[in-house]
Structure 1
Amino acid sequence: MDSATPPIPLSAALRESWARCHRHGLDPDEPLPTHALARADLADRLEANARLLTFSRPVIENLYRQIDCPASTVLLTDSQGLILSALGDTAFLDRAARVALSPGVEWTEAAMGTNAIGTALQLGEVVTVQGDEHFFTRNRVLTCVATPILAPTGGIAGILDISTDARADLSHADALLRTTAELIEHRLVESLDDGFLTLRFHSRQDLIGTPFEGLAVFDESGRLLACNRAARSQLRLYREFPDTSFAECFATDWRRLIDWAALGHATPFPLRTAVAGTCVARATLRGQRRHSPAAETPAPPRSTVVDAINLGDERVATALATLATWAQESGPLLIAGETGTGKRHLVHAFHHDHAEQRPLVTLDCAAVAAGPQLRAETEHALRQAESGILYLIDSEALPYAEQVFLFRAASSSTRIIAATRVPLVQLHEQQRIPFGTFDACGGRRIELPPLRERSDFDALVRRFVRDACPDRPVYVCPDALALLRRHRWPGNLSELNNRLRLILALMGDDAGQLCPEDIPEELLEPVAG
């Protein structure tokens, strides 16, 4: 029989998979590739999937025990089908490695033909591939079952796979595999740091608090941030990336749900869904979550301080991407932005993430430029900042020669960051910065947008409110957000943060909602016109 023809009858799904393999230009008799992902690259992929690995490891170990099949391995891949971990019998792991069924190897259909991992990734559902059903001849010694692990925010987070000898019976593995994937999905949603309100719901009250409950996380406005497989099924959210709100999913008023959750009641209550009738639910504000010792799981690595600045504005994201590139280089950095746009905060965040144990020295360029000891002052600042960061405020106030001297002093050990309140276009037109020297030294430029132009205004308000009230959740009403947006905020982030802290102080410690009537007219009136 022609090796390009399946040796046995295939299901419709597997026939389509074989057809895709042919379109990829694969040959069933291809030898095993000799290359694998470099160790450093694998380390990067493991770090990028730290949360998935952390919350899957305990349940994967339990799955392997339940399979009760010594000649088998349980594999976890990332969203691109790259194997991250393998757990199993040592002898079988050695055999699996001969067909590259090991960490650091990609098992997409394009790379490995029809196989459970790659085909489950393609179809988004549980897939079994037995023996001769594999596209590549070398893989026909295996029987594999794989299921997607759904990401909390949509799409696929990874693939969970059981692989064993082609003669083994894995007919019982489908249900075990799916249940394990649901356990992982439940933990991924529960462990999210973001979100305002957690809703647990099911048609059966006895399943509330179990991995089989519907679990959804909403933001302050009621938009769905994350949910598990059971929630998607009960709410009939079949799109890959569900984009919906509480109001679109349930018949109950969002504010009434918040008021109920704020009381901290643990008693389940009836909740009517928009599509499936009445269910039983429990709601908690995420600031009130209680941690039981039995439920505690090792925390995955947290995002950096710089990462936390990115709340969704495209220009800010571009600035942070430039900063990340600059971190690997040695030239100077120029940050432009109006007063209060976050230049100082960005510098301190970078220092925290990259040079916390080294000095951060600030030089007020406008002040030293007017003094008689200009060169002595700059040289002294450079010595203090050696192996750390020298932060130049209003750098355009320095004479050209002094700016050239400082830009040329930039290196991978002593970083030079210049800040200006003047727009970059204006600096070019007025020739207030020696951009020729700056560029020749490998300089990078960042321009932070004013608050009035940022698309993440609502997220900033909620972030500042959470920071000001860390011990209690405060809901910011949509009408309050609309009122705040009408102000021009000439002082940008600094002004917004300070005024929100004053508003919250006037509201008192027991307030749980920030509404338009809580914002004094005189607080915004002087600059509102």
Structure 2
Amino acid sequence: MQRLVDQTVRAHDAALPDYISRSWRRCETYGLPIHTDAYVDRLGSHELKHRIEQHEVLYRLCRPELETLRRVASGGDGIAIVADPSGLVLDSVGAEEFARRAFEVELSPGWSWNERLRGTNGIGAVLMELKSLVVRGNEHYIETNRFLDCAAAPILTPTGSVAGVLNVSVPSSMASAYALGLVEVAVDQIEHRQFADTFTRHTIIRVHSERELLGTPKEGVLVFDGSKLVAANRHGLAILKLNWTALGQHDFGDLFDVGALDDPQGHIGEALRSANGLLLHSVKPDMRRISRSVPNALPRLESATLTMPIYDAAMRADVERTLRILDCGIPVILSGETGCGKEVLARHLHALSSRATRPFVAVNCAGLPESLIEAELFGYLDGAFTGARKGGSKGSVREADGGVLLLDEIGDMPLSAQARLLRVLQEREVVPLGGSKPVPVDFLLICASNLNLEDMVAAKQFRQDLYYRISQFRMHLKPLREHPDLPDLILALWRQTTSGDDRYSLSPETVNALAQHDWPGNYRQLVGVLRTLFALAEPMVPIAPHALQYGTAGAISSPDAANAAHLDTKTRAILQNALDQHQGNVSRAAKSLGISRGTLYRRLSQFGDK
């Protein structure tokens, strides 16, 4: 195979781009066939819809450019495609005849074009190289794809992570360099549009050495939190001769010839000289009235990745250590009470890791029936069991190949599934249910639990060998009540909830009342209360403490202690009775109660029973 790769590369073009040569050699290590298509599962319509919803911001930002490219592609003979950070095609538009031909090689929504699955191609190469590029006909690794010329570019978030890929594919006889120019212009527009409705509580400086380019997608956009540079577009970083690692590291005074403690807000619209001596023009923002939005979701992680308002300084240091451990391929356990933000942290670690452009797959082990968890995790072949989906399923472990797998509430995983997981971690391969051929997998593993896994090992509720395999590094998330500055945290979360709209505020008395609560549901509970308060808020009227009684009283006031104690006594008696009936077998007792084994164990722990 190595000789065939070398001969094909040399025969095609002595001046082959370096990124194509690198890609072909990676494909050889993947063991991909050159002469036949690799088998790739297609997402069903429901799964595709869910994936589009996950990337709703990307999808919405790309729609205007896709419509423009639709007209260009339809007028010629090609298609425009938007893919998510894993390489999954979310949407495609263009010439119908060419689209049909592209469908024959599965270049259409629902199919992945990750390099590990499809060999050298525009989308896959961009995710590996993180730059705009062209893959011409014979540069495709798999022969059946060589009728394509693909021009593609990454779409980057304001913090430098990959939001997706924009790709234009045309017949290999057409001018793909022209297509790449169209793609790059479209990506500039998409990335520029990201700053329109975000960072409303930050200072945004827009600069360029040519005044005429201010207000265009070519302008440099720099976002400051206080005086700290926390986000930018690629043009802004290029103007200052910086890269993405500069975010979070430089103050305004480090970047421009101003006073060391100068506030960037005071320099909006002024001419600035960069630290490298370049004279830059800037523009005053359009002072449009900020419209209120319904707080149906917190801002996306990318918009708060660097400031991390929910973490104190000690936690930021813990995050950095955990990231280094994870990137070395060492499993990580995130522990903490319910609602502490374990999945949010896991997604954050993925976004900052070396696998940021690869899939992030989260599995809630407590949310899967015991009879189905192995099928969901490890996949199955067609007909493996009654009710199996036609065509089978890859399973979450294979979905996470190349990326990060989060096993949330791993303490609720049945012992049988624990044994299979241990084999996957040891052998780095998975055998789907109903199959016999192992499939190689490569992923970083994060486990999360609000249970004490050591106690579960002692109680023989969790496999000791699996525990030692996954517990090489642990990061504990403190409960909300232990945060060193809870009022400041509440205000930071309030700014996120309101998208920084200063017309809506909490009175000092309300902040104090919220800070006095012990928040057993932690961040999840607090965020729910803040969203409710925002829905009730009126412009320019600070929210008073009496508003806490509307739909939030249960979260702020404690129940009657006597009633609570009585309820606890009855609950404990019911749990103990179930255990007695099943001779202390927790799994059977939990099943008889209609709850998961982990839930039963957790409730027993709350009462001091082990």
Q: After TM superposition, is the score higher than 0.5? A: yes
Q: Secondary structure at the match of 1:149?
A: strand
Bigger Cα displacement from structure 2, 100-109 vs 30-39? 30-39
How far off its partner does 1:128 sit? 1.1
Sort the Cα spacing of 1:346 and 1:236 in 2 relative to 1 into closer, same or farther, 3 A. same
- The answer to whether the 8 Å contact 1:235/1:276 transfers is no
Residue of structure 1 in register with 2:288 after alignment: 290
Report what 2:470 is aligned to: none
Say if 1:235 and 1:275, in contact at 8 Å, map to a contact too: yes
Q: Of residues 82, 99, 102 in structure 2, which corresponds to 1:96?
A: 102
TM-score, length basis structure 2:
0.53
5 Å matches for 1:60-459? Answer: 60-66=66-72, 69-193=75-199, 195-220=201-226, 222-239=227-244, 242-245=247-250, 246-253=252-259, 256-258=262-264, 260=266, 268-282=269-283, 289-290=287-288, 303-304=297-298, 311-313=309-311, 319-321=340-342, 328=367, 337=481, 339-343=516-520, 346-347=524-525, 349-350=527-528, 362=554, 367=560, 369=562, 374=563, 395=564, 397-398=565-566, 400-404=568-572, 439-440=599-600, 443=603
Compute the RMSD of aligned alpha carbons: 4.4
1:123-142 superposed Cα distances (whole Å, 9 cap, x missing partner): 12221111111100110111
Aligned partners of 1:134 and 1:140 also within 8 Å: yes
In 2, Cα distance between equivalents of 1:239 and 1:53: 24
With over 3 angstroms needed to count, the CA separation of the structure-2 counterparts of 1:258 and 1:143, relative to structure 1, is: closer
User: Unaligned 5+ residue runs, structure 2?
Assistant: 316-335, 345-361, 370-411, 413-449, 452-478, 483-515, 536-549, 577-595
Amino acid at match of 1:401: T
| Cα offsets for 1:408-447 (capped at 9, x unmatched) | 9xxxxxxxxxxxxxxxxxxxxxxxxxxx99952765999x
The 2-side partners of 1:302 and 1:124 are apart by 32
Distance in 2 of aligned mates of 1:405 and 1:276: 75
Q: Per-residue deviation at 1:350? A: 4.4
Partner Cα separation in structure 2 for residue 128 and residue 327 of structure 1 = 45
Q: Deviations over 1:357-394 (max 9, x none)?
A: x988849776351xxxx5xxxxxxxxxxxxxxxxxxxx
| CA shift for structure 1 position 289 | 4.6
1:8 matched to 2:19? The reply is no
Residue 28 (structure 2) pairs with residue 30 (structure 1): no
**SS at 1:190's partner residue?**
coil
Q: Deviations over 1:61-96 (max 9, x none)?
A: 213334565321001111222211111122221211
Whole-angstrom CA distance in 1 between matches of 2:605 and 2:281? 54
Q: Size of the alignment, in residue pairs?
A: 378
* Secondary structure, counterpart of 2:560 in structure 1: helix
Q: Determine the C-alpha separation between the residues in 2 that align with 1:403 and 1:162.
A: 61
Asked if the contact 1:223–1:244 (Cα under 8 Å) also holds between the matched residues in 2, the reply is yes
Residue 348 of structure 1: how far off its partner (Å): 6.2
Cα distance change on mapping 1:368 and 1:269 into 2, 3 Å: closer
* Shift in Å, 1:38: 3.7
The Cα of 1:272 is off from its aligned counterpart by 1.1
- Residue 182 of structure 1 contacts residue 212 of structure 1 at CA under 8 Å; is this kept in 2? yes
Relative distance call for 1:214 and 1:299 in structure 2 (3 A) is farther
1:66 and 1:129 mapped to 2: Cα distance? 20
Report the alpha carbon displacement of residue 403 of structure 1 after superposing the two structures with TM. Answer: 4.3
| Partner residue in 2 for 1:518 | none
Measure how far apart 1:13 and its partner are. 2.5
Q: Distance in 1 between matches of 2:37 and 2:153?
A: 27
For 2:365 and 2:559, locate their aligned partners in 1 and report how far apart those are by CA, in whole Å.
26
CA contact (8 A) 1:109 1:115 kept: yes
- 8 Å CA contact retained: 1:257, 1:283: no
* Cα 1:320–1:203 shift into 2, 3 Å: same
Alpha carbons 1:32, 1:99 under 8 Å: kept: no
Larger Rg: 1
Report the TM-score when normalising by structure 1.
Answer: 0.60
Which amino acid in structure 1 is aligned with residue 560 of structure 2? A
- Equivalent residue letter for 1:303: A
Paired amino acid for 1:440: L
List aligned pairs for 1:54-65, cutoff 5 A.
54-65=60-71
Distance (whole Å) between structure 2 residues aligned to residue 305 and residue 171 of structure 1: 37
How far apart in 1 are the matches of 2:602 and 2:561?
26
Q: Do 1:86 and 1:102's aligned partners in 2 also have CA atoms closer than 8 Å?
A: yes
Gaps of 5+ in 1: 375-394, 409-435, 447-529
Matched-pair identity in %: 25
> Is contact 1:407-1:441 (8 Å) kept?
no
1:46 alignment partner AA: I
Distance 2:559 2:274 in 1: 62
Change (3 A) 1:277 1:62: same
Is 1:155–1:240's contact at 8 Å kept on the other side of the alignment? no
- Give distance in 2, aligned partners of 1:121 and 1:403: 52
Output the CA distance in 1 between the equivalents of 2:604 and 2:297.
24
Does the aligned pair in 1 maintain the 2:32–2:38 contact within 8 Å?
Answer: no
Moved more, 211-220 or 172-181: 172-181
Q: Is the 8 A contact 1:3 1:28 kept in 2?
A: no
